[in-house]
Amino acid sequence: MEKGIVVKSTGSWYDVRLADGQRLACRIRGKFRLGKMKLTNPVAVGDEVMVVREADGKGLIKQILSRRNYVARQSPRKRTELHLLAANIDQAVLIVTVKYPNLKQGFIDRFLLMTEPFDIPTIIVFNKVDLYDEGDMAVFAYLHDIYTSIGYQVLLTSATQQRGTDAFAEVLKDKMTLLSGQSGVGKSSLVNAIQPHLHLRTGELSGYTGKGKHTTTFAEMFELDFGGFIIDTPGIKTLSFNYLDPLDVAHNFREFFALSESCRFGGKCLHRDEPGCAVKEGVELGVVSELRYFNYLAILDEIAEQKHWERPKV
């Protein structure tokens, strides 16, 4: 068997880069799980695997080596299954924009809920600043203060004006980075601005809906000529979390978890109706972002609704 790293996933075939640099098209046999959860895609870009060559010149993945971390989302088609986005990454970069398409701010907190459990550093990049008016800049400043105050790095960029692109390249240098965002935020354009030779496919917004069209259809790893790798992923429309328990959500809003030591019920507090809750007090005092808190409550309500909807009849 030979060791390699998965550099492209189309759902049924996986390109594996071997030690000599050769790429081998591989398939996988058998079923895999992630803990108790079923997986829609058992192998992710970034996975280290053991493969064997077959007579037809293709390969077969026989073993997935231990992951140091991974990012997974609830499958948009099968609520009870997980879809792996990437594995063995150093950091994640979430690209958003205040407008074109309009920002759904709750999406930022939902994305962070995927990276926080593994303490994966996450940088939030606000792109398309060339399109922002004064009101949009005020929105950016407001969100910038929220996320930098709890330890996240925030960048402001424009792919068309090459603004902030040096800082963007610097955070990617010598790292394995998961690159993600909703469709239409200019993710591919931003990468092309710092690595034109990659020729990532770009698209336009739908004139009817004002939303982005998918341009990346599968996850793929690309090497950066200044050092490092990016894992480019398809645009994400929505993120749901019915595979999590409410306490998992509470513990992965980092500022809530830090304050929970002062809650009357400690680490078991859900910060909703419990008396003596330090998080609710923090919201009232303006120490905790009200926006983050409302997003948190919305996720808890959604989990409760989905789990009730899926509860089998007795």
Q: What is the mean pLDDT of residues 188-213?
A: 71
Residue 80 lies in a domain: no
- 215 conformational bin, left if phi > 0, alpha if psi -120 to 50, beta if neither: alpha
Whether residue 217 has pLDDT greater than 80: no
Residue 81 lies in a domain: no
48 and 98 share one domain = no
98 and 145 share one domain = yes
Residue 239 lies in a domain: no
- 14 conformational bin, left if phi > 0, alpha if psi -120 to 50, beta if neither: beta
Whether residue 94 has pLDDT greater than 80: yes
CATH code, 267: 1.10.40.50
Residue 188 lies in a domain: yes
Q: What is the 3-state secondary structure (H, E, C) of 69-134?
A: CEEEEECCCCCCEEEEEEECCCEEEEEECCCCCCCCCHHHHHHHHHHHHHCCCEEEEECCHHHCCH
226 and 260 share one domain = no
CATH code, 19: 2.40.50.140
CATH code, 130: 3.40.50.300
93 and 228 share one domain = yes
Residue 123 lies in a domain: yes
102 and 225 share one domain = yes
Q: Which domain holds residue 13?
A: 2-71
Please state, for a pLDDT cut of 70, what percent of the chain lies above it.
90
CA–CA distance, 245 with 69 (Å, rounded to integer): 20
Residues in the chain: 314
Whether residue 307 has pLDDT greater than 80: no
15 and 150 share one domain = no
Residue 84 lies in a domain: no
Higher pLDDT: 29 or 249? It is 249
93 and 224 share one domain = yes
Please state the domain count of the chain.
3
Residue 241 lies in a domain: no
Give the pLDDT confidence score for residue 308 in this predicted structure. 58
From the list 176, 89, 106, 96, the residue with the least C-alpha distance to 128 is 96
Domain boundary among 71, 101, 132: 71
User: Would you say 48 and 83 are in contact if contact means Cβ atoms under 8 Å apart?
Assistant: no
Q: What is the DSSP code (8-state) at residue 166?
A: H
CA–CA distance, 104 with 98 (Å, rounded to integer): 8
Higher pLDDT: 208 or 197? It is 197
From the list 262, 196, 191, 278, the residue with the least C-alpha distance to 229 is 191
133 and 197 share one domain = yes
301 and 191 share one domain = no
115 and 228 share one domain = yes
Residue 240 lies in a domain: no
20 and 56 share one domain = yes
Domain boundary among 205, 232, 259: 232
Q: What is the mean pLDDT of residues 22-27?
A: 94
> Residues 154-195: pLDDT tens digits?
999 999 999 999 999 999 999 999 999 998 999 999 999 999
121 and 148 share one domain = yes
- Six-digit token string for 224: 């950066």
Give the pLDDT confidence score for residue 211 in this predicted structure. 47
